[in-house]
Structure 1
Amino acid sequence: MSVTYTWDVFSTVDGCGSYEMPRGRSGWGGYWSKQGPELLGHRARQFRQPQHLVYGATTFRENAQIFADGADANILDEWNQFLVALPATVFSSTLTDTMDWPRATIDRGDAVDSVQRLKHESEVPLRSQASLSLNWSLLEAGLVDRIQITVFPVLSGVSGTSPVMVGVQDFDLELLESHVLDGRVLETTYRPHARLT
């Protein structure tokens, strides 16, 4: 039996997954400074559940560096503490080690083949955070069962980077659930259905 694969991604209203501030301007801060107790509690409940994480090399490297540096206070959020303790598979042909991530392993194989195998062999659901190009290819291969998008109420036309959906094909999305958290952050979860062109 195949387990569920969820692509979990944060986004601004205009579809950016991260930001880079122009010189001389102060940054947004983590979560675009829009986190609150409902969002953080909701994330903690999600990551308290047994699951297996899947990362592309760039997202994993960025996250591992943030945890190693310890400079970002958001790593102390309860959900991040659960996250780093979960087993993780990292798809990379360039990483040589797991950068002290406790339960991570590197997979140098084809991500589509490996995720297809993981979906059948894993006893717990799979979840991938960000890892945009990896998940674009998995979505196109029909391996993404759920897309969970957490939209923060900001427009980042000047500072926004990493457009979340720029690399995907056409899909219909079936809304499975939605939550408004702290009266401002919208989390929606969809089931994707490929559109033939």
Structure 2
Amino acid sequence: MHGPASPGWLLVALCAATGAYCLVRMRSTVEEQRRAAGGEALMGFGMAVMAVPATVFTPPGWAWPLYAAVFGAAALRALWSARSSPHHLHHLVGTAAMVYMAVAMAASPGAHHHGGAGVPLVTGPLLVYFTGFVLLSGARLVPLGAAAAGTAAVRWGDRPELARACRLSMGIGMVAMLLAL
């Protein structure tokens, strides 16, 4: 991603930590939790790789089309899964945003995508969606965390407040990446 190195490394750390926790969630005893965690782990690690500052590592030209293909396949899977769960619609938007950013990075490696001419047509709606998602997720997280404080011991992979915090972190990361695009 374009932009200063320090926030880029913070974003890498946030997304990698989120991806790692999603791998822990894949050990859940709840099938839907495991299924969602796999897609979220892919998003977390994919965002971490994409957020590595360009001053440190510039991927080869073939990496961005490969990246777009991987997230395009994930988008098709999310579209198929959305038939049974509306949560997968969010995964669909997220994977589509990753495809969009990979294509934008392939089109202009090392330079800002929109060149200061304003927000591109696709970036604006994605920013609105993810900003709304972050605000709504944050509002939903507070009461759930307070209610879960008095419950019995729950496995790390089955904690709904941590799963929501993961999604909130990835939403914040997506907003940051779209702004840096």
The structure that is strand-richer by fraction is 1
The structure with higher relative contact order (CA 8 Å, sep 6+) is 1
TM over 0.5: no
TM-score (norm 2): 0.28
